[in-house]
Amino acid sequence: MPSRMFFSSGDLMADRRFEFARDLQLKGDLPAAADLVLQAIELAPDFTSAWFMLGEIREELGDNELAVAAYRKATASDPDDRQGAGLRLMRLGAAPLSGMPHAYVQALFDQYARRFEVALVDDLLYRGPELLFGAVLSVRAAARKPAFFKRAIDLGCGTGLAATAFARGVDEFVGVDLSPRMIERARAGGLYARLEVADMLDFLRTQPDASVDLVLAADAMVYVADLAPVFGEAARVLMPGGLLAFTTETHRGDGVIIGEGLRYAHATACVRAAVAGAGLALSLLEDRSARNEDGVPVPGLVAVAAKTAPSTNPS
């Protein structure tokens, strides 16, 4: 699926050629699309979106080596990598797996915010928040505790779907997201006491120890390669007895990979290790898919981990 992201070259003629090339790409006339996008690049040599499209077309044509060259030009022309060419390089094995560029996540969701809920909920049957809510309810029921929380942090809160699912069980919701447009939508929903545009790890680092009793991450860990730092900070800000509940995409191999949809997929063992490394106890880990792609459930996990109360040492 070609990327829908676009950053103008600043040259009207080059932008026009890019648009025609995109039409041809969508119609499947790849050689003609490649010719036209090369003409756009001739007019605007630092045209990131055009280099990126050339990479996509070359991939579709089966020429990964030339695709890599084009993606490298895309990253060189925009070191912040708003287009996410670095992820394509990782997926093609031409760059080591590393973190998701923040500028890419922000641009992706800023451009997506207006149609996010329709695209995700209606088209991809997104069910992450409901899965998390069900998982938290069952963990609390097993512990014979009510599923009520005083203060919750929603990591990668997006437009606020998780706050909607948990609305009746949480007194005060705090949301954090990299995308200002997604935060605007969340703010309009009126469910959060506080919302911040920030990276989730940076935000957690500003929070006091033992200050919340629930941390949620619905379909947000798919944008985090290394779970350990986020889980470590979540464990620190949780009160004893508090819960971290999250979804991830997963795969049958080892470690972390970047999938077709340019989201990370974490192997079950890697999720278990990150939870244990943060000093949390896994209360629930189930194979559950949070969304479909091409009509098929994407392999996923839903997990709830608890911060156990420190054991008292009888003397």
Asked whether 58 and 78 are in contact (CB, 8 A), the reply is no
Q: Tell the smallest beta-carbon distance from residue 157 to ligand SAM (Å).
A: 5
Site membership for ligand SAM, residue 176 (CB under 6 A): yes
Measured in whole angstroms, the distance separating CA 315 from the mean position of its chain's CA atoms is 48
Q: What is the maximal distance between C-alpha atoms in the chain?
A: 80
Question: 314 by DSSP, 3-state: which?
Answer: coil
Site membership for ligand SAM, residue 302 (CB under 6 A): no
Site membership for ligand SAM, residue 249 (CB under 6 A): no
Site membership for ligand SAM, residue 175 (CB under 6 A): no
Q: What are phi and psi of 79, to 5 degrees?
A: -60, -25
Stretch that binds ligand SAM, among 28-36, 172-180, 205-213, 253-261 (CB under 6 A): 172-180
Question: Whats the size of the chain, residue-wise?
Answer: 315
State the number of binding residues for ligand SAM (CB under 6 A). Answer: 20
Give start and end residues of each alpha helix (H) in 61-179: 64-77, 85-91, 102-112, 116-117, 128-142, 161-166
Site membership for ligand SAM, residue 170 (CB under 6 A): no
CA distance 270 to 299: 15
Q: Which residue, 157 or 237, is less far from ligand SAM as judged by CB?
A: 157
> Between the CA of residue 142 and those of 146, 205, 235, 273, what are the distances in Å?
10, 31, 21, 23
Q: At which residue do the structure tokens 């040599």 appear? A: 45
Site membership for ligand SAM, residue 199 (CB under 6 A): yes
Site membership for ligand SAM, residue 161 (CB under 6 A): yes
CA distance 14 to 46: 11
Q: Which residue, 77 or 160, is less far from ligand SAM as judged by CB?
A: 160
Stretch that binds ligand SAM, among 4-12, 36-44, 58-66, 177-185 (CB under 6 A): 177-185
Stretch that binds ligand SAM, among 34-42, 81-89, 166-174, 216-224 (CB under 6 A): 216-224
Q: Which residue, 37 or 157, is less far from ligand SAM as judged by CB?
A: 157
Q: Which of residues 16-55 bind ligand SAM (CB under 6 A)?
A: none
Binding mask 129-158 for ligand SAM (x = CB under 6 A): x--------------------------xxx
Q: Tell the smallest beta-carbon distance from residue 179 to ligand SAM (Å).
A: 4
Q: Tell the smallest beta-carbon distance from residue 256 to ligand SAM (Å).
A: 15
Question: 243 by DSSP, 3-state: which?
Answer: strand
Closest among 52, 44, 87 to 69, alpha carbons compared: 52
Site membership for ligand SAM, residue 289 (CB under 6 A): no
Site membership for ligand SAM, residue 163 (CB under 6 A): no
CA distance 46 to 239: 50
Instruction: Calculate ∠ Cα 169-226-87, nearest 5°.
Output: 110
The binding site for ligand SAM (CB under 6 A) comprises 105, 109, 128-129, 156-158, 161-162, 176-179, 182, 199-200, 218-220, 223
